[in-house]
Amino acid sequence: MNTFQRPPQTLAQKLIAKASGRSHVAPGEIVNCQVDLAMFHDSSGPRRLKPMLEELGARLWDPSKVVLVMDHYVPEQDDDSRRIVRIARDWAAEQKLPHVYDSIGICHVVLPQKGHLRPGMFCVGGDSHSPTGGAFGTYMFGIGSTEMLGVVVTGEIWVRVPRTLRMWWDGHLPAGLTAKDMVLHMTGRFGMNGGDYQAVEFCGPAVQALSMQERMTLSNMSAEMGSQVGLIAPDETTRQWLRGVGVPDDQIHTEGWHTDEGVDETQASTYRFDAATLSPQVAAPHSPANTKPVGEFTQVPVQAAYIGACTGAKLDDLRAAATVLRGRKVAPSLRLMVAPASLQDQEEARAEGVLGALLDAGAELLPTACGACSGYGGSIPDGANVIATTARNFKGRMGSATAQVYLASPYTVAASAVRGYITDPREVLP
């Protein structure tokens, strides 16, 4: 009697196979997947979905699997933003959505903090940085409004099974470096189309040593590499973090969600890096792919520093910045803005004395929202050199078409804020 044996599979293949109800899938296949959760925000969601649903006379397939986060146009500052947010709030009430998070933080941070993401899930988001969910062993990617319409009506979406680019990191990050440096380095090497419709999987000892929030930064910015998803195999770190946000043990299944030994070149390619030899990274205007070691940019003056966004203002990021800023003052010629990624992170930072250290140094506290990262709020001066912890530095991305935006880790941004020019944080760390 022949016993069927499933061929070796990548983590991406396993997640798609589960969602499509199959034992295994192969790269290049097109399969239909059941969606476990659909997330959108005030900008991408109701104002676009509501009229399309009404025109079709369609209803949501399962409101309990829909999450709405108000984070892009809050706090409302003009009539247009008030209109957009009002549409979102009214529609959420009409649909009786059970999962609505209003003005408590950025969707990519709020979603996992509220326990919505778990290993093995298949999710979509109405935002290009939805791959953040991959940090939890969740297959999650961003889609547009027309695709989201199909999802919220049917609960399904088709995908073409991708190959996987495995980014294997040996060693351990030195002091003064973060996951942001890792992902900027990879984006600089592979470019913004390097993972074009492929799955990126981050792995190796240096990745396993990262906290969940640091892993979220890696997965988030897989979007900057052109990848559909940025996956990390779940482990005990994942399990402990999910327990901490209230996910029951019987809903946390980490076993088996990894890439099998024996996958071949048709399924995956592996690239190796050494975290121990990495230096702080900076991306020059106007692309995350313009990344070089910080030493290439020393003495570049900056007039504004921004510690914010889902890639640079979580609790771990605020702690990193405070390590540099504690007991110091921001350069008098410079404006430092801090916009925590969520109210939860802000309050934990306050309780730890982290927020106090930032404010004592001269930082301005901005609302816990997408803010300047999505060009909202008007806080980026025209014509300024800006160093920021955001994910993107496209021309005009942060609101001002004449600002020159450099991307870096919270350590590097904080060090640059102290000196008034781009600075290697290792030079000022205590």
DSSP states of 254-322 as a string? -TT-SPPTT--TTTEEEEEEEGGG---EEEPTT-TT-EEEGGGTTT-B-SEEEEESTTT-SHHHHHHHH
CA–CA separation, 80 vs 289, rounded Å? 33
Instruction: Indicate whether 164 and 145 sit together in one domain.
Output: yes
The pLDDT of residue 48: 95
The mean per-residue pLDDT over the stretch 27-53 comes to 96
Mean pLDDT of 124-128: 96
CATH code: domain of residue 413 = 3.30.499.10
> Does 206 lie in the same domain as 131?
yes
pLDDT tens-place string over residues 49-61: 999 999 999 999 9
257 belongs to a structural domain: no
First to last CA, the chain: 67
Q: Into how many domains does the chain fold?
A: 2
Give the pLDDT band of residue 193 (cuts 50, 70, 90).
confident
Mean pLDDT (whole number) for 295-307? 94
Pair 269, 323 in one domain: no
pLDDT in tens, 357-373: 999 999 999 999 998 88
The average pLDDT across 298-306 equals: 94
Q: Which domain holds residue 373?
A: 282-427
Residues 159 and 24 in one domain: yes
- Return the axis-axis angle of helices 410-419 and 315-325, rounded to nearest 10°: 30
Q: How do residues 65-108 score in pLDDT, each as one tens digit?
A: 999 999 999 999 999 999 999 999 999 999 999 999 999 999 99
Residue 1 lies inside a defined structural domain of this protein: no
374 and 389 both lie in a single domain: yes
pTM metric for this prediction? 0.96
pLDDT surpassing 90 at residue 192: no
| Domain assignment of residue 256, yes or no | no
Please report whether residue 45 resides in a domain.
Answer: yes
Q: Is 271 in the same domain as 287?
A: no
Give me the mean pLDDT over the 291-307 stretch. Answer: 95
Confidence bin at 374 (pLDDT 50/70/90): confident
Give the Cα separation of 223 and 193 in Å (integer): 9
Residue pair 142/131 in contact by the 8 Å Cβ criterion:
yes
pLDDT at position 130 is 97
**Is residue 394 very low, low, confident or very high in pLDDT (cuts 50, 70, 90)?**
confident
Span 311-328, pLDDT tens digits: 999 999 999 999 999 999
83 with 183, same domain: the answer is: yes
Mean pLDDT of the chain: 95
Statement to judge: residues 161 and 101 lie in one domain: yes
Percent of the chain whose pLDDT exceeds 90: 91
Residue 295 and residue 218 share a domain: no
- pLDDT for the residue 97: 97
Residues 128, 43 share a domain: yes
pLDDT category at 13 given cuts 50, 70, 90 is: very high
Q: Is the pLDDT of residue 384 over 50?
A: yes
Contact 108, 216 (CB under 8 A): yes
Rounded to an integer, the average pLDDT of 115-139 is: 97
Residue 254 resides in a domain: no
Q: How would residue 299 be classed by pLDDT, with cut points 50, 70 and 90?
A: confident
Residue 196 lies in a domain: yes
**For residue 1, what pLDDT is reported?**
36
155-190 pLDDT, tens per residue?
A: 999 999 999 999 999 999 999 999 999 999 999 999
Q: Is residue 3 part of a domain?
A: no
pLDDT at 195: 59
DSSP SS3 for 233: coil
- For the four alpha carbons of 75, 80, 82 and 87, in that order, the dihedral sign comes to negative
What percentage of the chain has pLDDT greater than the value 70? Answer: 98
Judge if 60 and 139 occupy the same domain: yes
**273 and 288 fall within a common domain:** no
